[in-house]
Structure 1
Amino acid sequence: MSNKVILSCALTGAGDTTAKSPHVPVTPKEIADSAIKAARAGATIAHIHVRDPETGQLSHDVNLFQEVVERIRESETDVIINITSGGGGDWVPNDAYPTTGGEGTDIQTPEERHEPVGKLLPEMCTLDCGSTNFGNMLYVSPTDWLKRQARLVQESGVKPELECFDTGHVRFANQLVEEGLIDGDPLFQFCLGIPWGAAADAETLSYMKSRIPGNGKWAAFGIGRMQMPMVAESVLQGGNIRVGLEDNLYLKKGQLATNEQLVDKAVGIVHSLGSDIMTPAEARKHLNMLNPYGKED
């Protein structure tokens, strides 16, 4: 068990959650404010998606990402900014025309998915390491596309977080490392409990972490009611953690949460297990990253 862990807060995500909780941030100001509050509560990293301010639905607008990032930076809050590069990967079946995506299909090229990262140069970004079933929807991320996207991330100098929703994704992430497309010590994120990816349990976590390289670092999260149990399990198995409204809306049964409340609860769990949270400065050194202004910390 590590003495200190990195705590990420996934602020808003891309799911249809805004109608389920008034606490899910939507506008750039709301997302930035939530990141700042989460950081003050103890979050090391703020993981950022953006939404259409009018509809609350997923957006890929680079200008919205830029406003969020600028608001956080201008606040002088020390938090590592992690922008999603998952982009448009949603394929919804269309029974009438099976070769054409149905309503809700949203597919972007690797170059389009990379655009916010390449323009804004955050310290970190995600890189989803394979296609997977999300309920009855398919998230599409083919291997050749991922290699192109990994090269773009590498050329930008941004630290990729290798998102693994299933065991095969770990294998492909290792392939990216072997092909020299990931610089430095690779950082894996095990995304557990999403139907129908890897299960959110101790055995699955133990297996996935056993498959990464010796110099690999890792974090894990569970969705819904498994969010806090996976916080504890990840700490016990020596990894880093993630919470936030992207993955879970509740502080406890029947009580909707804010991001800062979820961070505060996770901090309490970490302390109860005899560990502590890394500051952003400590995490930058641990991950061999640059600071927000492009200089070595």
Structure 2
Amino acid sequence: MRAPLSKIFITCAVTGNLTRPEQTPHLPITPDQIAESALAAAEAGAAIVHLHVRDPKTGRPSMELDLYSEVVARVRARNPQLIINLTTGPGGRFVPSDADPKLAAPGTTLMAPERRVEHIALLKPDICTLDLNTMNSGGEVVINTPANVRRMARVINDAGAKAEIELFDSGDIALLGDLLNDGTLKGPALTSFVMGVRYGFQPSPETVLYARNLLPSDAAFTAIGFGRVSFQTVALSYLAGGHVRVGLEDAIYLDHGVLARSNAAMVEKARRIVEDLGGQIANPREARAMLGLSKRAVDAKRVA
């Protein structure tokens, strides 16, 4: 049985793909807002920021390279040690047409694997997510076949990024084992249990322990809970021997009926939970050492 780690890192998921601007006025939308929110989360105690981008005009999720480039440049210019974790999740969703299910209906984002990791090749983040799930998601389907995952992993490896493996159900952990065994991924693995997506892992202490016990013994993990269980999952993950994640991607409330005014406020609460349970929070330099990431030199490129 794993005991709680002596020191853990906090990841802040700053804006995400699914939280809608109409749900909360505090969601960062523009590159400047996303970068500022990430930097404030770091000041509050986050060692890692998990970043998506959005269309500044509509607030809708985006995959535009220029938006990723601007956010990353702004963060690196002001806090070069902060660990940047970019998403590669968008581009795997399929919505079947009612008339002919083999044809895509509106809402489909399915695209070539290499297109989903173009920004990783360009920007070379410290970490990027790699989803292993092929599953029903609401009324739609997410498709990440083993072959496509391997194609994405090649680009990630060539960019020098560490993959954070997002696991949505136990079969994903079996695929992780295959990817480690054939050398597609190098251990020790960095993983996360995504809990609360309909038809995937559901949030509970039993789920966290079950998933943890399926991992290789040297794997690091973070249990992620969505919505009302976000802060409960901070405690569950820490007590099970994992790291923690919070942010406006995962939840919009700080307390019952109280909207979180910022990502920093969510990080502050997560930090209090861990420290009240006896844990200590790693800063970015310590988290880099824990994950075997290189120290980042100060980026001379400044953002006006």
**TM-score, structure 2 normalization:** 0.94
Check whether the contact 1:28–1:50 (CA below 8 A) recurs between aligned residues: yes
Check whether the contact 2:86–2:128 (CA below 8 A) recurs between aligned residues: yes
Q: Is 219-228 or 286-295 further displaced after alignment?
A: 286-295
User: Runs of 5+ in structure 1 lacking a partner?
Assistant: none
2:82 equivalent among 73, 79, 84: 79
2:64 is equivalent to residue 33 of structure 1: no
Supply the distance in 2 between the matched residues of 1:123 and 1:49 (Cα, whole angstroms): 15
Check whether the contact 1:8–1:46 (CA below 8 A) recurs between aligned residues: yes
3-state SS of 1:19 partner? helix
Partner of 1:283: 287
Supply the distance in 2 between the matched residues of 1:137 and 1:180 (Cα, whole angstroms): 32
Instruction: Return the offset for 1:234.
Output: 0.7
2:22 is equivalent to residue 19 of structure 1: yes
Partner of 2:68: 65
2:300 is equivalent to residue 292 of structure 1: no
Percent same amino acid at aligned positions?
40
Instruction: Return the offset for 1:294.
Output: 9.6
One-letter identity of the residue aligned with 1:260: A
Instruction: Return the offset for 1:273.
Output: 0.3
Q: Within 5 A, what are the aligned runs for 1:1-297?
A: 1-76=4-79, 78-257=81-260, 258-293=262-297
Q: Is 91-100 or 262-271 further displaced after alignment?
A: 91-100
- The structure-2 alpha-carbon separation of the partners of 1:145 and 1:90, relative to structure 1 and needing over 3 Å to count, comes to same
Structure 1 segments (4+ residues) deviating >2 Å? 291-295
Instruction: Return the offset for 1:92.
Output: 1.9
3-state SS of 1:234 partner? helix
3-state SS of 1:47 partner? strand
Instruction: Return the offset for 1:269.
Output: 0.1
Supply the distance in 2 between the matched residues of 1:97 and 1:5 (Cα, whole angstroms): 49
One-letter identity of the residue aligned with 2:222: A
**TM-score, structure 1 normalization:** 0.96
Higher relative contact order (CA 8 A, sep 6+): 2
Aligned residue pairs, count: 295
Supply the distance in 2 between the matched residues of 1:284 and 1:249 (Cα, whole angstroms): 28
Supply the distance in 2 between the matched residues of 1:18 and 1:262 (Cα, whole angstroms): 18
